Amino acid sequence: MTFTRSRTQNLFAGAAIVATLLMQSVRPAVAKDCDRGCLGDLVTQYLNDMAGHNPGALPVSPNVRFTENGEVMKLGEGLWRTASGLGAYRQDIFDVEEHTAATQAVVLQDGDKPVLFALRLKERDGNIGEIETMVVPQDKDSLLFDPAGYQKGNEQMAFVPPASEIGSRAEAIEIAMKYPQGLKVGSFVQVDTPFASDAYRIENGVHTAGAGYTRAGCENIKTQKIIQHPGIQARVAAFDAQLGVVLLYLDFGNTEQYGAGRALVTFEAFKIYGGQIHAVNAVLHMASTSTTSGWGPELPVKVPPAK
């Protein structure tokens, strides 16, 4: 027996189909995970768009937040206005789990003047929602300045260790935090910061500690003399699980060693594998103790009791 639909039934059926199609059309698209390649593309585009003075081309969220040296700015201000090209050095740090891309690089401004540059981007649904930058030109606040120095004897930072030698995020961060803990008490030996025998440190391109370097007392990064930084604060900016790099934002606090009301602030990258720190690369400058990163929270560094 054959049944035929009434005109009313056909109308209801048609309406149901249309409703279903409408629901499918407004269903939000599932955001593709941003892998290392994706994060790298965002950093590359940021640098190129900045050098080209084209902030409108950058894929940003409607409520994107942008800071330079702790100051909230409109995207397109600050270094965006004076950047003229890219230097030879760039070390990327990709935290896929936290949708974060970071880099330490050399950028040119006003023609051929190099500036040291640190960048942290937070990716959200394919767009950039957070932009944190540190810009260090050569002046009295840079303290040290040798852009080409990042490329000399710094192979460890780009080295990809065996995956079996890279610990978990928590383990790597715990090791990296041994560095500001040593700064807090004024001794890496006291807190047993686990430096490798060939560990070195580069600050603003200048090799300031490590095997083969002749600065008095700094040939051994672990035993070098350092002052106490009782007010030091730290924030974890990124962890690269492939390279074994932890990036910390450090505010050294007011020690009166850098001048009244002045403190050292830095984006400090730690190369960690095999349970040891093999290299430390810093982009740093002097700032007022009243200046904040604009992101936070930077938390006081706590030193665990001696075992």
- DSSP letter string over 215-259? STT-SSTTTS-----TT-EEEEEEEETTTTEEEEEEE----SSS-
Here the tokens at position 73 are 């700015």
Check pLDDT > 90 for residue 47: yes
Residue ranges with strand state E in 165-232: 195-203, 206-210
How far is residue 56's CA from residue 49's CA, in Å, rounded to a whole number?
A: 8
- DSSP-derived letter for residue 126 is T
Instruction: State the pLDDT confidence band at 257, using cuts at 50, 70 and 90.
Output: confident
How far is residue 28's CA from residue 158's CA, in Å, rounded to a whole number?
A: 38
How far is residue 32's CA from residue 38's CA, in Å, rounded to a whole number?
A: 10
Strand 245-251 to 299-300 pairing = unpaired
Residue ranges with strand state E in 36-112: 60-68, 71-73, 83-95, 100-109
Instruction: Report whether the peptide linkage leading into residue 297 is cis, meaning its omega lies within 30 degrees of zero.
Output: yes
Q: How large a percentage of the chain has pLDDT more than 70?
A: 88
Which residues neighbour 286 within 8 Å (Cβ) at sequence distance 6 or greater?
140, 141, 142, 143, 258, 259, 262, 263, 264, 265
The predicted-structure confidence for 223-240, as pLDDT tens digits, reads as follows 999 999 999 999 999 999
In this predicted structure, what is the pLDDT of residue 259? Answer: 85
Q: Shortest CA distance to 91 belongs to which of 103, 107, 109, 74?
A: 103
The amino acid that residue 4 corresponds to is: T
Check pLDDT > 70 for residue 1: no
In this prediction, residues 158-163 reach a mean pLDDT of: 97
- Give the number of C-alpha atoms closer than 13 A to the C-alpha of residue 252, restricted to the C-beta side: 27
The predicted-structure confidence for 52-103, as pLDDT tens digits, reads as follows 999 999 999 999 999 999 999 999 999 999 999 999 999 999 999 999 999 9
Q: For the chain, which domains are there? A: 36-136 (3.10.450.50), 147-300 (3.10.450.50)
Long-range pairs, 207-210, Cβ under 8 A, ≥24: 207/149, 207/152, 207/153, 208/144
Is there a contact between 183 and 229 (Cβ–Cβ < 8 Å)?
Answer: yes
Which residues neighbour 64 within 8 Å (Cβ) at sequence distance 6 or greater?
75, 127, 128, 129, 130, 131
